[in-house]
Structure 1
Amino acid sequence: MPMRPLPDLASLSLAEIAQLMEEDRLPPVERWNPTHCGDSGMTILRDGRWLHEGAPITRESMVRLFSTILRREPDGSYVLVTPVEKLSIAVEDAPFLASELRVEGEGTESRLIFRLNTGDLVLADAGHPLRFEKGPDGPLPYLQVRGGMDARIARPVYYELVERALAREGQDPIPGVWSAGSFFPLDAA
């Protein structure tokens, strides 16, 4: 499966983003149930970097390819799965990192589109909610991506969300952001 270059998110219209999201079809990993074969020797670090046997995977296309066969198991573990093999992969926090934000519209009509470190585009909505957990150094922001997997929102992107929430202060009962008709409070539960 050839990987196309990542477009500049800021230069795309909402219609172009929607078309790209529609074109990015993922393999049906939820339907593949081969016998567990072992460990991949891979780890996804908290900062979104992928390692193999302790060495960084530096080819973006390899990370993007592996991310398409990543699945979260019912016990909370992660595997790389194909129709014939299933290998464990260690994940320190969340398997994805939301590293870029594109905003369309204002108020309740806003759409927040996130680019992940794998190149995937995700629209925050009822099916892909934002959530904030309490962490030792402040809130830990996450975006639900797919199949029970999350993207941790990078700190600069989180600050963009906070700026949007503060700009709306007084308009909503609690600070938060709107996207695709859903309201996401910025408080950590």
Structure 2
Amino acid sequence: MTHSDIPATGSALARLTQALGPDVWQKGLPPVERWNPPYCGEIDMRIAADGSWHYMGSPINRPALVRLFSTVLRKDPERYVLVTPVERVGIVVEDAPFLAVEMALEGEGEDRQIAFRTNVDDLVPVGPDNPLRFEEGEHGGVKPYVKVRGDLWALVTRSLAMDLIALAEERDVEGQKLFGVAVKEGFYPIAAFVDPGELS
């Protein structure tokens, strides 16, 4: 992150940026699950359903700044928060905090491996720690999500969702016929057969 990426002094974003320190990128992901600073209320920040971040009604157009704040995002039981060692502030997330924008696929069936890249450049291999889940969309279609970390999920974009659901197959799981996606070390059921053309 360069100096030009840092918001104006005195803003809520500036406080958060300064609390993280200049070498945050060299440290890897901050240990937000271990931080328990006081809750300082909400700031006017929103992650829209399309994955874009907004502050005080305006889009944040600096990718480096969005990536920075994505590393200190956490889902508490009551709300999504941005966390530093010294404060915790609430933000609004319209759907999922991240989007899965690229999918890599290797192998088939029991040997299949699937990995996603998110819009903030997290690399997420599907597996026990990063499962898939499928929810019903507003118009009766299916919305797939992949767990990124903690209780933070990425919504799979519509075009990738169609490719993902095209991999689905029917299996007998504990005496019940389920339609889902098989990945090495797991099978992720979809509630019912859905034509990819019906995705919301």
TM-score (ref. length: structure 2): 0.75
1:110 and 2:112 equivalent? yes
User: Which of 83, 87, 92 is equivalent to 1:81?
Assistant: 83
Structure 2: gaps spanning 5 or more residues: 3-25, 193-200
Cα-to-partner distance string for 1:23-48 (whole Å, 9 max, x where unaligned): 99310001111111232311000110
What displacement does 1:92 show?
A: 0.5
- In 2: Cα distance, 1:177 partner to 1:66 partner: 32
1:185 and 2:186 equivalent? no
Residues 170 and 34 from structure 1, CA distance in 2 versus in 1: closer, same or farther, beyond 3 angstroms?
closer
Aligned-partner SS, 2:90 = strand
Give the greater-gyration-radius structure (CA): 2
**How many residues are aligned here?**
165
Counterparts in 2 of 1:109-148, with a 5 A limit? 109-137=111-139, 138-148=141-151
Residue equivalent to 1:35? 38
- In 2: Cα distance, 1:186 partner to 1:38 partner: 38
- In 1: Cα distance, 2:172 partner to 2:27 partner: 36
TM-score (ref. length: structure 1): 0.79
1:56 and 2:59 equivalent? yes
Q: Which deviates the most, 106-115 or 129-138?
A: 129-138
- In 2: Cα distance, 1:52 partner to 1:170 partner: 45
1:152 and 2:152 equivalent? no
- In 2: Cα distance, 1:107 partner to 1:62 partner: 39
Aligned-partner SS, 2:166 = helix
User: Which of 93, 96, 105 is equivalent to 1:94?
Assistant: 96
What displacement does 1:153 show?
A: 1.0
- In 2: Cα distance, 1:127 partner to 1:24 partner: 22
Cα-to-partner distance string for 1:142-179 (whole Å, 9 max, x where unaligned): 111211111111111101112222xx568995432222
Cα-to-partner distance string for 1:115-149 (whole Å, 9 max, x where unaligned): 11111011111221111112222112111121111
Residues 155 and 61 from structure 1, CA distance in 2 versus in 1: closer, same or farther, beyond 3 angstroms?
same
- In 2: Cα distance, 1:139 partner to 1:25 partner: 34
Structure 1: gaps spanning 5 or more residues: 3-22
Residue equivalent to 1:175? 179
- In 1: Cα distance, 2:27 partner to 2:142 partner: 31
What displacement does 1:89 show?
A: 0.8
Q: Which deviates the most, 59-68 or 128-137?
A: 128-137
In structure 2, what residue type is equivalent to 1:178? A
- In 2: Cα distance, 1:174 partner to 1:38 partner: 44
- In 1: Cα distance, 2:179 partner to 2:148 partner: 23
- In 2: Cα distance, 1:170 partner to 1:130 partner: 16
- In 2: Cα distance, 1:73 partner to 1:170 partner: 35
